Every structure is written in structure tokens, then in C-alpha cells.
Amino acid sequence: MRRLSKTPAKNTLVGLLTQPAGVVLRNHGLAFLWVVVGVAVTIVIRVQLLDYRGGDVNAFVNWCDDIEKKGFAKALIGGDCNYNPAYIYVLWLATKLPFDRALVIKAFSILCDYVCAAALALVVFRARRSKLRALLAAFALLIAPTVVFNGALWGQCDMVYAAPLAVALAAVLGRRYYLAAALFGVAISVKLQAVFPLLGIWVIRREIPVRSLLLIPATYLATLVPAWLAGCSWADLLMIYVKQAQQYSGLTLNAPTVFVLLADEEKWIGPLGFWFAIAAIFMVFLACVYARVRTTATVLVRETIVFVSLAPFLLPHMHERYLFLADVMSVVYAFVFPARFWIAICVVGASLAGYSSFLFSKTPVSLTSAAVMMGVSSVVLAAELLKQHYPRVFAAHRDEREEIGARGESASAFSGRPEAKGKHVLSA
């Protein structure tokens, strides 16, 4: 079984956190100073947005009131709450703390911002071995407009599932496979958007143990146990995601997806688009499985961003926030592959157009333009992944094009000589 290269303990998040403070300051003094300044600036940005109360955060506060009045089980199953229990526990906690509930909800998402940034900074460091680049990537992620708006302004919980996914990616690079699988399970228990097939690819490549996958359903079920003990039935708990999938109609809900460019005929375009998306994702999955590559940090970043951008772009019924993982990973991609920094601008910009359409009823660019930006980025990302995974195939095509070009040059060079022209036609 092939194994991913092991990260030295001093370069892991756990290694840094377990070092004495004096050692950290002596060995990482300048980096520590940058971290303090960066964290202070990003916190100030978020504090400016905490007073905003949109419809969604007000709905979360109402869910808190529902939990307090009806009890956890009745509020979750019979009330207005339609999220999985893993996040409803946060709302339950907000009812027990002596603080403004909207601030508690936003504070939890903001905390996850920093966990995610720290984990993905480690991924960037593993890919490029540059502390400065890793710190800049973390700072860029923390000031990315959609990341700031999602938690601090909107009070949404997308970072609550993105953070464990980010730590899972860092854990995989550190060969902590069981921890990574458990964190994938935690992320899926918060939002179904956390499902993408990377662990399956790594298992088929024989890079991580098959039995580690058992932790995904085990962790997911474990997150449901407190809700079951509170009085919810297993049947109701296991059907929450099914009910969510049936809740919304419309080919796109302010999301810059391919369906912005198509006719609004949900009855037949919706199913066709769904199965087309599944087929496209499955083809990319097979391409990753059969590629003779080892999962290094750069390969992990490439594969991750392709799945988290291609899936929401092609699937119907997407909200503007469902591109959140693509936003996050596009920033990481920009710092691992600086020549493709424009992809982060396009992806975050396209997602921001969807946010603006919902939050402010106006957009910096039209959703049609945003969908084109997202589509071009997704296609380029997929093409670059295939070029990396199958270099010989693309090299062969390049050699063939060069050979054809050389023949064309020869033919044009001898076009004034009838005998040469005839020879070329015959050889062709």
C-alpha cells in the first residue's frame, strides 16, 4: 500500500500548538508577529459587520426561541428548524449562554474561519515549503469577501463544515487517515455539500486504509445520538437531508451555475442537468483513480478544487452559498499555483455576485457574466488536472501538432515546385 509522505511533527498544527511558547517565539518570531497582525486586522473587519441582521440570522434566532419553548426534539422535527442536528446543537448552546444569540451564532462561524485558515495554511506550506506564502494564503482567505460576508455579515454556517474539511485535508497530508475520515463525517453531518469523493479516490489508489472509511458513517451517526436522546426518532433524523433536497425548486437560486445560461424549464432540464453533472463528476473521479500519481499536497489541491467547483456549477437547485468550498479552495489554489491567481478572482467574484444578488438585490456583474466566469474557471481547472495526471497523453498530442505543423511548413516551403508538391500529396 502506498502511503502519503509524512509531515514532520514540527510542521503540523498539533506540533506547533504543543511546543512551549518560548520555543515558538524563538523559532517563529517573525511569523508569529505576522499572525498577530493578520488576526487583528481580520477581526476588526468582522467586528464592523456584526450589527447586520439579515433574514437568515433572524431565522436562526427564531429557531433558538423555538428550541427554548418547545424543547430540542419538537423544535427540530416538528418546528421550523430544517438543518441537521450537528448545527442545531450550536443554536441550542446559544440559548444557554448569557449573550446575544445572533452574536453567538456569528462568533461560532467566525471561529471556524480561523480554524480553516490555519489548516489550509499548512496545506499551502506542504505544497510550497514557504512560511510566508502559507501566511499570506491564510490572510487572503480571511479577507476574501465571500468568507467575510458568509459568517460575520450573513451569520451563515458554511464555514462550520468547511473548517473540519480543511483540517481533514491537512490530516491526510500528515498521514492521520482515521482523523481525516472522522472529520469528513463531522463535515457531512453539518451540511450535505461536504460530500465529495476524495477519500474514495485515495482508498482505490491504496494510499489510505479502507477501514478508515467506516469512521465517516460512524461519526455521522454519533452526531445524531444527542438528538435521539433528546427525543427525536432515528427515522426522522435520517430523513432530514432527504426533506431538504425536496424543499427548494428552481434550477438555480442566485447561484452562478450553468443553469443561468439555460432556459428555465425545470421539468426536463433539471433531471437532465442532474444526471449530466453526475456523469461529468464520475468521469473526473475515474480519471483521478486511474492516474498514476501519488497524492502530494499539490495533487490534493488540484483534485479538491476540481470537485468542489465542478459539482456546484453543474448541479441544479444550487444556492449562492453552495459554491463556498470553491471560494475557499480557489484562494489556496492561487497561492499554490500563482500563475493561476486569476481563477481565485473569477471564482470568488462569481460567488460574490450571487451573494450580492441575495443580500443587496444588486450585483457587481450580472449572474450571466458570473456564470461564465465560474464555467471558464471550472473547465480550466479540470483541464489542468488532466494535464498533470496524464502528461504523456498531452505530450503526445503536442508532439503530433508540432509534427503536423512541421509538415505544413515543408509543404508551403516547396509549394512552388510541382514535383515536391506531388510528393507530399502522395506521402499523405
Listed as own residue / partner, the contacts of 73-76 with beta carbons closer than 8 Å and 24 or more positions apart are 73/227, 73/230, 73/231, 73/232, 74/231, 76/227, 76/230, 76/232
Q: Which amino acid is at 418?
A: P
Q: What is the pLDDT of residue 7?
A: 47
pLDDT at res. 413: 35
Q: Collect the ranges in the chain with pLDDT lower than 50.
A: 5-9, 13, 17, 402-428
Residue-level pLDDT at 392: 84
First to last CA, the chain: 49
Please give the pLDDT value at position 410: 38
pLDDT at residue 19 in the model: 60
Are 345 and 278 in contact by the 8 Å Cβ rule? The answer is no
Question: Residue 79: phi, psi to the nearest 5?
Answer: -100, -155
Strand partners, 254: 319
Residue 406 has what pLDDT? 42
pLDDT over 70, % of the chain: 85
